[in-house]
A = this chain, B = another copy of it.
Amino acid sequence: MPFETQLSRCADLVEARLTRLLAADKPAPDQASRGFQPTYRLACAMRHAVLGGGKRVRPFLVMQSAALFGVPYEQSVTTAAALEAVHCYSLAHDDLPAMDDDDMRRGRPSVHKAYDEATAILAGDALLTLAFEILCHKATHDDPAIRMELVSSLARASGWAGMAGGQQLDLDAEKIADASALTIDNILHLQAMKTGALILFGCTAGTILGGASQDERRAWIDYGQNLGRAFQISDDLLDVEGSQKTVGKAVGKDDNAGKATLVSLLGVEAARAALAQSETDAIAALDRFDDKAEPLRGAARYMSRRQK
């Protein structure tokens, strides 16, 4: 089965699960008629932020790696949905005027354009909170110690030392007048936090759910770190080379902002070489695993060749 088909099948499964998790009661008629709709507008904005789009790369990583450790489908799809809720919260907040100020996301209006800024902030807050609530469900795993490890790991990946901290660094970096003051190490560090940490969680959640050995976990961390790097370099390349129609959001923004990226520091050719190296290293990290890891090797190849 081609990689894109596998990815899209997984996306459908996660979409269905997220739809169920985000189902909320319609307002009672007497309240709706008064214009007072308990949680209804917020739930709609949350669904807008999450449903109907996205490649669902992070959920794919959870479900495929979990399958390698014999994790039941119910557990991996629930964990995948929680991770995607965190990812979508971060998009809703990053798109805000005070942050990256993006009107479009996945070819549709971003949450604050479809609703308003306050609702976009609250929808993001509520999605982040919901992710942790989902991980507490028994469906995630029977053993509370395992659920606890997932909550702890996702919180560290998303918080001040992970995704949120990386987004702050990214905003700070834009304010540095001389972009060349940033070193390649600075940028790698920033990207490892901003996008790498969540991808790494996606690659290691299966080892937590499946009780993998320390050795196996190390292999997945190695894979996840290289995959995250490949993802970010390809994202930076797309920003320079992609078209808005293909990518589904504004492109050329980093370049126009004079923002330092690996591409601006290394040039396009060297960035392509670094991308190829990350792909090779990610695939090599899975050497010990047999054919069942092929979808994950496919993910590494996909990262370096994607057009959007």
The 6 closest A-B pairs by CB, nearest first: A98-B117, A136-B152, A129-B159, A133-B155, A42-B168, A126-B160
A31's nearest neighbour on chain B, judged by CB, is B186
Q: A residues near B, CB below 8 A? A: 24, 31, 34-39, 41-43, 46, 89, 93, 96, 98-99, 116-119, 121-122, 124-126, 128-130, 132-133, 136, 144-145, 147-148, 151-152, 155-156, 158-161, 164-165, 167-169, 171-173, 175-176, 181-183, 186, 189
A selection of 23 A-B contacts at a CB cut-off of 8 Å is: A24-B160, A34-B182, A35-B172, A36-B173, A36-B186, A41-B172, A42-B160, A43-B160, A98-B117, A119-B168, A122-B164, A122-B168, A122-B171, A125-B128, A128-B129, A129-B155, A130-B155, A133-B155, A136-B148, A136-B151, A136-B152, A144-B145, A144-B147
Tell whether A34 pairs with B186 under 8 Å between CB atoms, given A122-B168, A126-B160: yes
Q: Which one of B34, B39, B98, B181 contacts A168 once the chains associate, using CB atoms below 8 Å? A: B39
Contact between chains at A42 and B164 (CB < 8 Å): yes
Q: In the complex, which residues of chain B have a beta carbon less than 8 angstroms from the beta carbon of A122?
A: 93, 164, 167-168, 171
Q: In the complex, which residues of chain B have a beta carbon less than 8 angstroms from the beta carbon of A128?
A: 125, 128-129
Q: In the complex, which residues of chain B have a beta carbon less than 8 angstroms from the beta carbon of A158?
A: 129
Tell whether A164 pairs with B126 under 8 Å between CB atoms, given A34-B186, A98-B118: yes
**Complex CA distance for A148 and B118, rounded to whole angstroms:** 30
A39's nearest neighbour on chain B, judged by CB, is B165
A148's nearest neighbour on chain B, judged by CB, is B144
Q: In the complex, which residues of chain B have a beta carbon less than 8 angstroms from the beta carbon of A151?
A: 132, 136, 148, 151
Nearest Cβ distance between residue A247 and chain B, in whole angstroms?
Answer: 23
Q: In the complex, which residues of chain B have a beta carbon less than 8 angstroms from the beta carbon of A39?
A: 160-161, 165, 168-169
Contact between chains at B132 and A155 (CB < 8 Å): yes
**Complex CA distance for A164 and B43, rounded to whole angstroms:** 11
> Known pairs A129-B160, A147-B148. 15 more at Cβ < 8 A?
A34-B183, A35-B175, A35-B176, A36-B172, A36-B173, A36-B182, A36-B186, A42-B165, A93-B122, A118-B171, A122-B168, A126-B164, A129-B164, A136-B152, A148-B151
Tell whether A121 pairs with B118 under 8 Å between CB atoms, given A36-B172, A42-B168, A129-B160: no
Contact between chains at B156 and A133 (CB < 8 Å): yes
Q: In the complex, which residues of chain B have a beta carbon less than 8 angstroms from the beta carbon of A98?
A: 116-118, 121
**Complex CA distance for A37 and B182, rounded to whole angstroms:** 11
Q: Which one of B119, B159, B189 contacts A126 once the chains associate, using CB atoms below 8 Å? A: B159
Contact between chains at A189 and B38 (CB < 8 Å): yes
**Complex CA distance for A130 and B154, rounded to whole angstroms:** 11
**Complex CA distance for A144 and B150, rounded to whole angstroms:** 12
Nearest Cβ distance between residue A139 and chain B, in whole angstroms?
Answer: 13
